[in-house]
Copies of this chain bind each other. A is one copy, B any other.
Amino acid sequence: MSEKITIYDIAEKLNITAATVSRALNNNPKIKESTRELVIKTAASMNYKQNKLALALKSGRSNNIGVIVPRIDSNFFASVIRGIEEELHPHGYQVIICQTHESPKRENENLYTLIDAQVDGIIMSVTDVTTENDGAFRNVLEKNVPLIFFDRSKHIDGVSSVTINDFKGGYLTTQHLINEGCKSIAHLSGDQSLEIFKNRFLGYKQALLDNGLTFKEEYVLPVKSFVDAGKEAVDILLQLETPPDAIFSSSDFAALGAIQELRARNISIPKDFCVAGFSNEPFTKFMELSITSVDQSPLEMGKMSARVFLEQVDKTDTIKIEKKVVLAPELHIRKSSSRSNT
């Protein structure tokens, strides 16, 4: 049961004051070399550990950073967090995780909790941009706590973000499908109130237009990011008067569902139907019929977000820097859309 050792204990033992101990341990130049050595040696021998809470209270910095994500058990978010942790760990920051489960209420709650906990910054992926209640965000900004959005972002003055070029991701994928000979391409879209999904859609649309293909409203279906949603979407699409011959899905899970449903109906992929997803989830490359998908370089996204945070954290309170980092999406072409290789 080692008691908690404080600088006062060290001071008492050496018949000096805590102030001297503190200075010695912090390499304050005004301390006699012999004293410094003595203190450091004694501290080590007593197994002294600095109490970070006391330090945090005094300095106003907790050395913690909060990360808010919809959920952690998705490869994308877990990888981003990994990137954040790896970048921040050498700087002495600890990462605190919060999940929203896509609930704006939980999101607000998490924001308040993190501020209460005096985190030095918040890196997050937004749940819902349409929330009217921006109080929690305003609260963060008023407290001058650096806030950085990644992937799903919100337009707030003075807030930085790290995203990928979703428009380009949508464009590249659609262009690829067209190159493979697809003539009528459907799109499974996430909630378009979120910019990422809006942009993937716009990229898709632009690619169609640029290639002289007509854009059809009925080819665009909203889906949740679940396997079953993809199956249902295929069911609907195949009942259309002129069914499509390809799907660009903004979700890998929906793409997988689509593929399963198409195969169940004996439609040959990629010969008669091509499918591409988004996110480059691990399973897309493991499948025998591997799935074409857009990589968002989540690890890099996490590291970049962390770096943006580090840039902002030490700036004077009055200056607000807004930095928008846009990473390039990378299309991984695989069997589900490669006619050339078949």
Contact = CB atoms under 8 A, between A and B. Distances in A.
B85 A256 contact: no
B73 A73 contact: no
A71 interface: yes
A289 B286 CA distance: 11
Interface string A1-40: 1101000000000000000000000000000000000000
Contacts of A74: 78
Nearest to A114: B94
B75 A117 contact: no
A147 to B, nearest CB: 15
B289 A288 contact: yes
Contact of A1 (B51, B144, B287): B144
**Which 7 pairs, one residue from A and one from B, show the smallest C-beta to C-beta distance?**
A283-B283, A73-B78, A78-B78, A53-B57, A73-B79, A2-B142, A73-B82
15 contacts: A54-B57, A63-B117, A64-B64, A72-B85, A73-B78, A85-B97, A89-B98, A94-B113, A95-B97, A256-B286, A283-B287, A286-B286, A287-B287, A288-B288, A288-B289
Given A86-B99, A94-B117, 15 more contacts: A49-B115, A51-B118, A53-B53, A54-B57, A57-B57, A63-B117, A71-B82, A73-B81, A73-B82, A74-B78, A82-B99, A89-B99, A94-B97, A94-B113, A95-B96
